[in-house]
């Protein structure tokens, strides 16, 4: 190959390399442009959402309230900044008939506690307590007659609540609030709160409250609302009926087997159901969500302001 041919090949190779580099730069520029366009589109969608729902502040960030999502230094900072109330959601793992998941109380208590804490603005939420008294294990009684229910003795449950409250007092929280989503252990919550308040009577740094108003909003206020809307107590029920199921649907629809329920005959006590859940809707459940949050926030503000 002569020098002329070699030079021509060299120029072609250099030209090809330059073309490749130009193509790479063009591709990178297009990718950057596309990424910028996506970011702009995302911002535009947020602005559009704010215009559609002006009650939601644009670009507002909700402070973290879930204790188990935070580091110890973050919790310490929040305490120093005034978040001195700790909400302890208490659920339970129990049967709720063929159409509602076993963990409904755990999910409800945790989600409602988060909403309450966010509304208060000075509270954090402890991990949910999901092991509670549900009746005798052997022989099985109450909900323990149905597969999947977990029960612990009253003494173990009360010790758990007491240890939890003592832990938060040690860390510097001023108000420890028990939020119980289940009726069966309300007396246990109150017993522990009373015992600790007697013990700490000469130490005003921490106060324990079993927030009865939370459960009353579910079991009394919400039931009365449904009755005024024309539903009978036979439908509303005491367990896994319309009220129970609608509240669960409003907070996490995946916990309710809606399709199967809508095509089934009325469940009975033999199924673990006391009521008729078939007409439950998310919209009815949202009534309870609002009542629970409003009632609980007002009650917590009252007890923390007057002590």
pLDDT in tens, 92-132: 999 999 999 999 999 999 999 999 999 999 999 999 999 99
pTM for the whole structure: 0.80
Q: Is the dihedral of CA 235, 240, 243, 247 positive or negative?
A: negative
Q: How confident is the model at residue 62 (pLDDT cuts 50, 70, 90)?
A: confident
> What is the number of H-type helices and E-type strands within the chain?
11, 4
- Tens digit of each residue's pLDDT (9 = 90 or more) over 232-281: 999 999 999 999 999 999 999 999 999 999 999 999 999 999 999 999 99
Could you tell me the domains of the chain? Answer: 1-60 (no CATH), 67-306 (3.40.50.10310)
d(CA 108, CA 114): 10
Q: Using CA atoms, how far apart are residues 264 and 98, in angstroms rounded to an integer?
A: 10
**DSSP helix/strand/coil, 57:** coil
Angle, vertex CA 190, rays to CA 147 and CA 187, nearest 5: 45
Tokens of 118: 């966010």
DSSP for 122-182 reads SEEEPPPB-----S-TTTT-GGGGSTT-----HHHHHHHHHHHHHHHHHHT-SEEEEEE--
């Amino acid at each position: 190959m002569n020098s002329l041919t070699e030079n021509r090949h060299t120029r072609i190779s250099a030209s090809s390399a330059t073309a490749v580099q130009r193509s790479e730069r063009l591709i990178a520029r297009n990718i950057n442009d596309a990424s910028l366009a996506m970011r702009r589109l995302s911002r535009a969608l947020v602005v559009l959402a704010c215009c559609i729902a002006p009650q939601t502040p644009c670009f507002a960030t909700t402070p973290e309230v879930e204790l188990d999502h935070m580091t110890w230094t973050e919790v310490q900072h929040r305490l120093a900044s005034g978040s001195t109330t700790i909400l302890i959601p208490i659920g339970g793992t129990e049967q709720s008939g063929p159409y509602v998941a076993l963990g409904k109380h755990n999910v409800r208590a945790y989600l409602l506690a988060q909403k309450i804490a966010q509304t208060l603005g000075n509270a954090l939420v402890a991990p949910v307590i999901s092991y509670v008294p549900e009746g005798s294990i052997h022989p099985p009684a109450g909900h323990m007659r149905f597969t999947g229910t977990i029960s612990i003795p009253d003494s173990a449950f009360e010790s758990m609540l007491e240890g939890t409250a003592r832990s938060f007092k040690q860390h510097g929280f001023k108000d420890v609030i028990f939020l119980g989503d289940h009726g069966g252990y309300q007396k246990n919550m109150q017993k522990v709160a009373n015992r600790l308040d007697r013990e700490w009577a000469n130490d005003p740094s921490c106060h324990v409250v079993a927030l009865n108003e939370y459960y009353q909003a579910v079991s009394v206020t919400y039931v009365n609302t449904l009755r005024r809307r024309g539903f009978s107590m036979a439908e509303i029920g005491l367990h896994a009926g319309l009220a129970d199921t609608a509240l669960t649907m409003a907070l996490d629809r995946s916990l309710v087997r809606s399709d199967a329920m809508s095509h089934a005959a009325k469940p009975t006590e033999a199924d673990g159901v006391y009521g008729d859940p078939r007409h439950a809707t998310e919209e009815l459940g949202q009534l309870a969500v609002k009542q629970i949050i409003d009632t609980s926030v007002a009650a917590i503000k009252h007890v923390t302001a007057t002590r």
